[in-house]
Amino acid sequence: MSKQAILKLDDKEYTFDTIEGVENEKAVDFRTLRSVSGYISYDEGYGNTGSCQSEITYIDGEVGILRYRGIPIDQLAEKSDFIDSAYLIIYGELPSEEQRISFSKELIKNTNIDTRMIRQFESFPAGAHPMSILTSMMGSLSSYYPELSTNDRALDLENFDRSAASAISKVMTVAALSHRISHGLPVNYPKKGFGFAENFLHLMFSNPHDEYHAPKEVAEALDLILLLHADHEQNCSTSTVRMVASSGANLFASITAGICALWGPLHGGANMAVIKMLEEIHAEGDDGSRFIEQAKSGTSGKRLMGFGHRVYKNFDPRAKIIGQACERLFAVLGVDDPCLDIARNLEQAALKDDYFISRNLYPNVDFYSGIMMRAIGIPLDMFTVMFAIGRMSGWVANWHEVATQPKGKINRPRQIYQGPALRDYVPMDQRG
Ligand code: ACO
């Protein structure tokens, strides 16, 4: 029998079961709290709330662990690739050779978008933000592929393999076209025979009579960035996807909500903030040492962007992997980016500094991912879009987990009302 928790309220005692995860995470099961006591639990921001039991991703931020379906992220980064890991995240196991071939075929088959969507793309004003275009276009997938988004759960699950492949492939195509359209560039079409990252880079950078075939190292670097962003447990966007899915909404509707949540600067926008910070430091002729002092002062309003994490209080395992990959990529490309030197200085200084050590502030994945994307040629306003392409497999897996729950319940938190108490309506002529 599991341990029990006893809560004393108004001289009465209530007993609650506890739940333990496979990695010994412990929770008190308060689902009956309101019905037995009249109280609800208050946890603004959900920092202390387990919103679900999930089998997809495990994080232990105290010791810097991230695993997809039990497999450590460093093993996946070294031995797997984005498609292999996406399959693992969605279907729970690494694909056999046959499964890998059939998954890849499904992805390629669904890379193209309905040609009528091109007209919709062209209706966006020049300069529209790629994230705004991405949210609209992904939301409109239900209009073009109604058979994959019926909101009849049994039917949507029957078509899951196709809708999952569509979400992963089409977000890549739509993302690249968002960039082309927002910069007034002619549209490219996906190419058969190109890998996932290669295809994206072709869609982004090919021009009429000048097809872009990314160097192997560049395509591999992008693939790694996507793999490292593929899932991250119950973050803001993934929780949003699960929230929307819990209402019975189809996959395309649910992932679109996730993309909207990702757009916020506190979630998917930090990688841009790192580049802006590095450029500012460079423009001021600083090597990073002046900035470090300002970030520590607490009064400058500056923070060392790309440092610190709500969950990781030891190190972000993705940051180690991406930091090393960044060094390799720069060596191969022979790129000389002063921002990389500044980033190295900042990292070395912060890791020795008491202010950062005592607050458990270590580099997070965004510290180097922005520098790497810039070296690949991805424009700054596309950084959050790149995050969305990577995170799609995690969103899809989480939608599926919600959709296949035997007794799925709509997510509906409660609140503590603090507005005006009961009062009467005042007619217009009597209002002061
Ligand atoms: N630079 C300088 N000081 C910092 C930083 C930083 N990057 N991050 C936290 N601190 C300080 C705070 O000022 C605070 O100091 P105090 O105790 O003297 O008041 C202490 O460390 C704790 O900070 P909190 O904001 O309470 O930590 P929290 O866990 O809430 O925030 C967050 C985490 C938002 C990531 C924060 O560290 C931050 O703003 N980092 C920079 C932005 C960033 O890189 N975000 C990307 C996160 S990763 C991702 O989303 C994929």
pLDDT in tens, 285-303: 999 999 999 999 978 789 9
In terms of domains, do 253 and 112 share one? Answer: yes
| pLDDT of 55 over the 90 cut | yes
Residue from 266, 315, 361, 371 whose mutation best tests the ligand 1 pocket (most atoms within 8 A of CB): 361
Among positive and negative, which fits the CA dihedral 371, 291, 267, 59? positive
pTM score > 0.75 for this model? Answer: yes
Does one domain contain both 142 and 256? Answer: yes
What angle separates helix 196-205 from helix 160-182, to the nearest 10 degrees?
A: 30
What is the pLDDT at residue 1? 65
CA atoms within 13 A on the CB side of 64: 16
User: Which of 62, 305, 309, 353 has most ligand 1 atoms within 8 Å of CB, for mutation?
Assistant: 309
Q: Which domain holds residue 31?
A: 4-50
**Average pLDDT over all residues of the chain:** 94
State mean pLDDT over 28-48: 96
Task: Please answer whether residues 351 and 296 qualify as being in contact, where contact means their C-beta atoms are separated by less than 8 angstroms.
Answer: no
**Rounded Cα–Cα distance for residues 206 and 200 (Å):** 10
Q: Is the pLDDT of residue 408 over 90?
A: no
Q: Which atom of ligand 1 is nearest to the CA of 274?
A: 44
Same domain, 389 and 283: no
* Contacts (Cβ under 8 Å, ≥6 apart) of 169: 107, 108, 110, 111
pLDDT tens figures, 100-155: 999 999 999 999 999 999 999 989 988 899 999 999 999 999 999 999 999 999 99
Over residues 329-355, the mean pLDDT reads 92
Exposed/middle/buried for residue 282 (C-beta within 10 Å: 0-12, 13-18, 19+):
middle
How many CA atoms lie within 13 Å of 235's alpha carbon, on the beta-carbon side? 25
Give the nearest ligand 1 atom to 359 CA.
21
* Same-domain status, 285 and 201: no
Whether residue 391 contacts residue 255, with contact meaning beta carbons closer than 8 Å, is answered with no
Mention every residue, 6+ apart, whose C-beta is less than 8 A from residue 262: 236, 237, 268, 384, 387, 388, 391
Residues 254 and 152 in one domain: yes
The candidate with the shortest Cα–Cα distance to 367, out of 332, 316, 328, is 316
In the reported structure, the alpha carbon of residue 339 is separated from the centroid of ligand 1 by a whole-number distance in angstroms of 21
For residues 193-213, average pLDDT: 94
Residue 366 annotated in active site: yes
CATH number at residue 331: 1.10.230.10
Is 210 annotated in the active site? no
370 and 302 in a single domain? The answer is yes
432 within a domain of the structure (yes/no): no
How many structural domains comprise the chain? 3
Burial class (CB in 10 A: 0-12, 13-18, 19+), 20: exposed
In-domain check, residue 419: no
In a domain, 55, yes or no: no
Q: Are residues 198 and 171 in the same domain?
A: yes
Least confident of 29-33, 52-56, 267-271: 267-271
Q: Domain for residue 121, yes or no? A: yes
Residue 429 lies in a domain: no
Torsion sign (Cα): 263, 265, 267, 272: positive
pLDDT digits (tens, 9 = 90+) for 206-264: 998 899 999 999 999 999 999 999 999 999 999 999 999 999 999 999 999 999 999 98
- How far apart are the CA of 326 and the centre of ligand 1, in A? 23
* 79 shares its domain with 173: yes
Residue 422 domain flag:
no
User: What's residue 126's pLDDT?
Assistant: 84
pLDDT at 139: 97
Separation CA 365–CA 390 (nearest Å): 13
What confidence score (pLDDT) does residue 289 get? Answer: 92
Residue pLDDT, tens place only, 384-403: 999 999 999 999 999 999 99
The yes-or-no verdict on residue 2 having pLDDT over 80 is no
Instruction: Say whether both 35 and 77 belong to one domain.
Output: no
* Shared-domain flag, residues 132 and 209: yes
409 found inside a domain: no
Catalytic residue among 179, 202, 232, 309: 309
**d(CA 362, ligand 1 centre) in Å:** 10
Identify the pLDDT of residue 387. 96
Please list every protein residue whose CB sits less than 6 Å from any atom of ligand 1: 267, 270, 295, 298, 303-310, 359, 361, 364-366
Instruction: Identify the CATH number of the domain in which residue 182 sits.
Output: 1.10.580.10
Do both 242 and 351 map to the same domain?
Answer: no
Ligand 1 atom 40: residue of nearest CA: 308
Same domain, 73 and 126: yes
Q: Which long-range contacts (CB under 8 A, 24 or more apart) does 408-417 make?
A: 408/246, 409/246, 410/246, 410/247, 410/248, 411/51, 411/242, 411/243, 411/246, 411/247, 414/34, 414/40, 416/40, 416/42
| Residue from 73, 364, 387, 391 to probe ligand 1 pocket by mutation (most atoms less than 8 Å from CB) | 364
pLDDT at 183: 86
In our burial notation (b when 16+ CB lie closer than 10 A, e otherwise), range 193-208 reads ebbbbbbbbbbbbbee
* Nearest ligand 1 atom to alpha carbon 295: 2
Residue 430 lies in a domain: no
